[in-house]
């Protein structure tokens, strides 16, 4: 079940996500994989040590004390980028200490999904997660075994590894394995569906919705896709719609960013500069 965050935590989460996305756009797959691994490890640590979690999320403690605790405890154990993100999380404000856990785990998941994004494998990851969730939904005994926190975590992870071996991408296996290692009361079938939704949402960042005044040739489509891929640092696919009202040119939307190169857009912009 997705966690509902209060306003303070939502704002802090948005700040962490912005940091992660800025780093991910320029990072390589290996660095992102290491970042995800480190963030998952930190998440498990602060779940296991409740006093530590409370200290890191304590709004009454000075920010410098909270970030100093992070650097003193983790400075030699995780990558520089992971340390920066965890320090930023400790410096932020959280409505509840558990929200800090949720935020760090979400950034770990996003870092791992960014690996698939870099290699053009998000479609496969989304499909594999969804299908595995459906399988588990039909196998309640297996789902219960994988979520049984009374049994050793590594044993549950080994069972999952045997189930997935040769059947999924490394990214899918990593995401599911990390959930099994730290289920926190969640059923893996529901967690797999949530992960599939995360993959779908991240894939949307890699789809450019293009409105064009005229039909593009295959060569023009390829040049546009190549240009956007270089601009965003990840593979970008195109969804093209013919829109003659633009009069000429293109309007490209990637995620929440709009690039308006249409004649209609330029005319509208010129009108806004004219005195009323």
Residues 6+ apart with CB under 8 A from 56: 46, 66, 69, 70, 89, 90, 97, 100
* Residue 276 confidence (pLDDT) above 60: no
Q: Are residues 16 and 102 in the same domain?
A: yes
* Claim to verify: residue 99 and residue 126 sit in the same structural domain: no
pLDDT at residue 73 in the model = 94
Give yes or no: residues 12 and 1 share one domain.
yes
Say if residue 101 is in the same domain as residue 191.
Answer: no
Backbone dihedral region for residue 255 (phi beyond 0: left; psi -120 to 50: alpha; all else: beta): left
pLDDT in tens, 159-210: 999 999 999 999 999 999 999 998 888 888 889 989 998 998 888 777 788 9
pLDDT at 207: 79
Domain that holds residue 140: 120-204
Q: CA–CA separation, 222 vs 200, rounded Å?
A: 23
Residues 6 or more apart whose CB falls under 8 angstroms from that of 106 comprise 13, 17
Q: State whether 187 and 210 are in the same domain.
A: no
User: Do 87 and 24 belong to one domain?
Assistant: yes
| pLDDT mean over 1-19 | 84
Last residue of a domain, one of 97, 117, 137: 117
Mean per-residue pLDDT over the chain, rounded: 90
Secondary-structure breakdown of the chain: helix, strand, coil percentages, each rounded to the nearest 5: 70, 10, 25
Sequential DSSP letters for 20-83: HHHHHHH--HHHHHHHHHHHHHHHHHHHH-HHHHHHHT-TTS-HHHHHHHHHHHHTTTS-HHHH
Per-residue pLDDT, 200: 84
Does position 2 have pLDDT exceeding 60, yes or no?
Answer: no
Q: Do 50 and 5 belong to one domain?
A: yes
Residues 110 and 142 both lie in one domain: no
Do 237 and 184 belong together in one domain?
no
Last residue of a domain, one of 58, 85, 117: 117
76 and 14, same domain (yes or no): yes
pLDDT at residue 4 in the model: 66
Whether 241 and 268 share a structural domain: yes
Which pLDDT score, from 0 to 100, does residue 85 have? 98
Q: Is the pLDDT of residue 27 over 80?
A: yes
Dihedral sign of CA atoms 89, 94, 100, 105 in order: negative
Q: What is the pLDDT of residues 210-227, one digit of tens each?
A: 999 899 999 999 999 999
- Residue 55 scores a pLDDT above 70: yes
Give the mean pLDDT of 33-41: 97
**What pTM, to 2 d.p., does this model score?**
0.77
Residue 1 pLDDT > 60? no
Residue 5: the pLDDT is 77
User: With 60 as the cut, is the pLDDT of residue 268 above it?
Assistant: yes
The number of domains in the chain is: 3
Q: Which of 204, 227, 246 is the last residue of a domain?
A: 204
Average pLDDT value for residue range 228-235:
84
The answer to whether 180 touches 207, Cβ cutoff 8 Å, is no
5 plus 98 within the same structural domain: yes
């Amino acid at each position: 079940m997705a966690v509902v965050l209060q306003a303070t935590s939502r704002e802090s989460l948005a700040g962490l996500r912005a940091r992660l996305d800025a780093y991910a756009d320029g990072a390589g797959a290996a660095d992102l994989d290491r970042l995800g691994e480190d963030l998952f490890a930190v998440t498990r640590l602060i779940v296991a040590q409740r006093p530590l979690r409370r200290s890191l999320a304590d709004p009454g403690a000075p920010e410098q004390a909270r970030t100093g605790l992070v650097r003193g405890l983790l400075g030699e154990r995780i990558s520089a980028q992971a340390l920066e993100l965890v320090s930023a999380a400790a410096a932020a404000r959280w409505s509840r200490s558990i929200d800090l856990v949720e935020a760090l785990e979400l950034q770990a998941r996003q870092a791992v999904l960014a690996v698939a994004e870099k290699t053009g494998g998000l479609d496969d990851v989304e499909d594999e997660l969804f299908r595995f969730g459906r399988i588990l939904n039909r196998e309640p005994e297996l789902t219960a075994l994988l979520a049984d926190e009374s049994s050793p975590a590594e044993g549950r992870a080994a069972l999952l590894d045997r189930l997935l071996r040769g059947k999924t991408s490394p990214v899918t296996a990593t995401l599911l394995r990390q959930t099994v290692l730290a289920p926190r009361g969640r059923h893996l079938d529901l967690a797999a569906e949530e992960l599939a939704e995360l993959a779908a949402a991240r894939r949307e960042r890699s789809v450019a919705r293009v409105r064009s005044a005229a039909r593009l040739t295959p060569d023009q489509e390829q040049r546009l896709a190549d240009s956007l891929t270089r601009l965003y640092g990840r593979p970008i696919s195109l969804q093209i719609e013919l829109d003659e009202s633009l009069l000429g040119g293109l309007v490209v939307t990637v995620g929440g960013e709009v690039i308006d190169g249409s004649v209609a857009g330029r005319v509208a912009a010129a009108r806004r500069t004219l005195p009323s």
